[in-house]
């Protein structure tokens, strides 16, 4: 068995320690029991700090009636967080040798995201992206250093791929300077152009040689980050409800929001993990779409938590928006999450029109719940959980029919 470059894959199993510094060589896709490392878990937890900060600022913007501006700033900041996380995750899946230098450079990337997190509030309130850019540059330069290490240990097409990543990452950092050097009206265009440029780097780098990322490991990494983001959503909503109860004694008004929020988050977890997606990722084309599409999965999951906070603030009259706007802050990201997970995950495993329509119809019904006033969040939670129940019932019915068909089929 050989890789796409014609070279034999690296031996199975995690790299064995043989000293503080080792060659950064590609790991094999045939490794058994490949799981996330403690360093990767620590990396994810630190990145969620930045996600939480982005959510807090989104809450403030929406609650003050500046939803459009807040969503735009959220989308820009969240891209920086997600893109740096995603690039590290795929690199680590292919090249993690867990030596001392690899750990140090990864910790530098963590420091970068903490710098970025410190600048998020200024990016939202003053449109000052200097700290955000500085944190992003720290993360990306550290990643370029990792790719340089990989290039030193590689030959042929693999070395070319690593160097293309280095050049692409560094050139994009020059372009991002426009966020602090150009006048404010031009920054949105800078952002759009640079997003396109960043997304093209992996497509170009891996055009002739695909890195040896591990499908099961990648699926686990994305799943773990989804869990952490959903956990942050629950934590943020819980703090908001607690504060409102302590300060305003409005338990009756908050119970429907709390119950609906829990149902939404529980359903979001169930829907994401109901299918074993790693087998779908063995095609590089599918993997790119799946990996890129998770920007919407992560961003919408985190935005659900922000929306629940907004709904709580509106319920106790501390937000300067209508009930309809507060409801939309929950229902719209919930609907986006359902549609995106269906597109990336569920539709590949559904049989028949009824199974395929469960999540799209649920997303449409969740949007309709926006107009139910104080009961909007609870209704959206009931719709989301209802989609889970219907999906389970349809799957069970299909499995029962298959068992009956196999039992009645004549022996071959």
Write down how long the chain is. 412
**The pLDDT of residue 390 is above 50:** yes
Tokens of 336: 């986006």
CB 223 within 8 A of CB 270: no
**SS3 call for 322:** coil
Distance between CA atoms of residues 142 and 131, nearest Å:
17
* CA distances, 13 to each of 29, 149, 281 (Å): 10, 21, 20
What pLDDT is stored for residue 12 in this prediction?
41
**The pLDDT of residue 77 is above 90:** yes
pTM listed for this prediction = 0.88
Percent of all residues in the chain with a pLDDT value above 90, rounded to a whole number: 59
Confidence of residue 2 (pLDDT cuts 50, 70, 90): very low
What pLDDT is stored for residue 15 in this prediction?
53
**The pLDDT of residue 16 is above 70:** no
Q: What are the tens digits of pLDDT across the range 104-154? A: 999 999 999 999 999 999 999 888 899 999 999 999 999 999 999 999 988
Domain residue extents for the chain: 38-205, 215-405
**The pLDDT of residue 412 is above 70:** no
Distance between CA atoms of residues 235 and 229, nearest Å:
10
Smallest CA-to-CA distance from 55 within 303, 249, 268 is with: 303
Confidence of residue 247 (pLDDT cuts 50, 70, 90): confident
**45-54, 89-98, 401-410: least confidently modelled range:** 401-410
What's the mean pLDDT in 207-217? 88
Distance between CA atoms of residues 301 and 388, nearest Å:
17
What pLDDT is stored for residue 4 in this prediction?
37
List of residues 6+ apart from 231 with CB closer than 8 A = none
**The pLDDT of residue 311 is above 80:** yes
What's the mean pLDDT in 352-377? 91
Give me Rg for the CA atoms of the chain: 23
Q: Left (φ > 0), alpha (ψ -120 to 50) or beta: where does 65 sit? A: left
List of residues 6+ apart from 341 with CB closer than 8 A = 268, 271, 272, 297, 359
Smallest CA-to-CA distance from 354 within 398, 384, 401, 406 is with: 398
What pLDDT is stored for residue 5 in this prediction?
38
Write down the residue that tokens 């449409």 correspond to.
Answer: 364
Write down the residue that tokens 């009259």 correspond to.
Answer: 317
Distance between CA atoms of residues 51 and 196, nearest Å:
22
**The pLDDT of residue 58 is above 90:** yes
Q: What are the tens digits of pLDDT across the range 228-238? A: 999 988 888 88
List of residues 6+ apart from 330 with CB closer than 8 A = 260, 261, 264, 304, 307, 308, 310, 311, 376, 377, 380
- Averaged confidence pLDDT in the chain: 87
What pLDDT is stored for residue 320 in this prediction?
86
What pLDDT is stored for residue 407 in this prediction?
64
What pLDDT is stored for residue 17 in this prediction?
53
What pLDDT is stored for residue 1 in this prediction?
32
- Sign of the dihedral defined by the CA atoms of residues 323, 326, 332, 337, in that order: negative
Percent of all residues in the chain with a pLDDT value above 70, rounded to a whole number: 90
């Amino acid at each position: 068995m050989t890789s796409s470059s014609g070279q034999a894959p690296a031996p199975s199993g995690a790299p064995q320690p043989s000293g503080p510094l080792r060659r950064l060589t590609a790991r094999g896709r045939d490794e058994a029991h490949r799981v996330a490392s403690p360093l990767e878990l620590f990396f994810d937890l630190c990145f969620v700090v930045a996600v939480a900060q982005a959510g807090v600022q989104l809450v403030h913007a929406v609650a003050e009636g500046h939803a459009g501006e807040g969503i735009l700033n959220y989308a820009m900041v969240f891209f920086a967080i997600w893109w740096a996380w995603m690039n590290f995750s795929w690199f680590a899946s292919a090249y993690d040798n867990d030596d001392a230098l690899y750990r140090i450079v990864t910790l530098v990337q963590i420091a970068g995201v903490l710098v970025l997190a410190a600048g998020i509030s200024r990016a939202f309130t003053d449109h000052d992206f200097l700290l955000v850019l500085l944190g992003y540059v720290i993360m990306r330069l550290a990643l370029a250093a990792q790719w340089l290490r990989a290039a030193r240990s590689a030959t042929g097409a693999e070395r070319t791929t690593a160097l293309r990543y280095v050049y692409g990452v560094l050139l994009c950092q020059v372009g991002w300077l426009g966020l602090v050097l150009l006048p404010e009206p031009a920054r949105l265009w800078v952002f759009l152009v640079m997003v396109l440029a960043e997304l093209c780097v992996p497509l170009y780098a891996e055009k002739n040689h695909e890195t040896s990322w591990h499908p099961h490991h990648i699926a686990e990494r994305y799943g773990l980050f989804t869990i952490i983001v959903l956990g942050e959503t629950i934590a943020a909503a819980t703090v908001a409800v607690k504060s409102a109860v302590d300060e305003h004694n409005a338990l009756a008004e908050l119970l429907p929001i709390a119950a609906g929020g829990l149902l939404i988050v529980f359903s979001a977890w169930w829907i994401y993990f109901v299918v074993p997606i790693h087998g779908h990722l063995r095609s590089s084309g599918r993997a790119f779409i799946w990996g890129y599409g998770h920007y919407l999965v992560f961003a919408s999951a985190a935005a659900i938590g922000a929306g629940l906070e907004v709904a709580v603030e509106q319920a106790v009259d501390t937000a300067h928006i209508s009930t309809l706007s507060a409801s939309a802050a929950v229902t719209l990201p919930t609907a986006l999450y359902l549609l995106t997970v269906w597109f990336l995950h569920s539709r590949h495993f559904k049989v028949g029109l009824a199974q395929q329509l469960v999540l799209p119809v649920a997303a449409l019904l969740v949007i309709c719940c926006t107009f139910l006033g104080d009961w909007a969040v609870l209704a959206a939670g009931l719709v989301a959980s209802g989609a889970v129940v219907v999906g389970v019932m349809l799957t069970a019915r299909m499995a029962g029919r298959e068992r009956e068909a196999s039992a009645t089929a004549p022996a071959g």
